[in-house]
Amino acid sequence: MGPSAAIRHGSHEIDDRVRNIHCIDSPGNVKREVHRKRGELTFSDRGLYFLSMAGKTRLLLTLAIFFFLAAGLPSAGQIPEPAAPSSLKTFFTVRSAQPDETLPPEVRKEFEKDDGSPLKSVAVDLDGNGKEEKFVLCGVPSAAGGPQWLVYDPATGAARGVVVGTIVFIGRESDDGFPKLETYWRQGGAMSVVFRYKYSRGRYGRVGTQALTLWETSEYFRAKPPLDLDKELVEIK
């Protein structure tokens, strides 16, 4: 090989092994970096690369699990808020009504119609004063078809309005010291009815009516807390 060829061969070898990248650190100062030849490994043993990657994978998985668990923990000083109480305080059905011979005959005139059959009642302290009001059940359904209940105050003898329904829901929200009421009853076929009542000026008056299809009835009860028919008049938590 002649001198010229040797120079050219040496030049190519240098070009393959050494690549110069000039970075200007400051005006007039040139930094030269030497890079590896293409395809050349840092470590001669390829198994070292596998061990390095496996170590990084374990580290990433450990960090991911840590952050996942940390996200579910409350921060320092933070206490999870308790679940909000149900808007319903309690409920009862016609099954809870018991024969009541203490009721004066004058209460019958409050019903839309009455056949003179024995009256039944359910005792509930509505206004929280320690004295029970009574829901008096008439033996004859209302003109709309649902059972009639007279809200009656035995202490004062005051009639506080008639509500209609097979199930009576007593709410936590109140008006003039008496809770809102909601009733449900099956009208016939696949239709059901919901009435809503509000206390005002000494009596309960109906403020809302909702007719429900079979599917809507299912959704209506799904939106309420679980109801145990063996625990009527027990406070709903």
Per the listing, tokens 């009527």 go with 232
User: Going residue by residue through the chain (237 aa), what tens digit of pLDDT does each one get?
Assistant: 544 444 344 444 434 433 433 333 434 443 444 344 455 544 455 544 444 445 555 555 555 454 444 444 444 445 555 455 678 999 999 999 999 999 999 999 999 999 999 999 999 999 999 999 999 999 999 998 999 999 999 999 999 999 999 999 999 999 999 999 999 999 888 899 999 999 999 999 999 999 999 999 999 999 999 888 889 999 988
- pLDDT tens per residue across span 87-112: 899 999 999 999 999 999 999 999 99
pLDDT score recorded for residue 189 = 83
pTM score over 0.85:
no
CA–CA gap between residue 58 and residue 56 (Å, rounded) = 5
Q: Is the dihedral of CA 3, 7, 13, 16 positive or negative?
A: negative
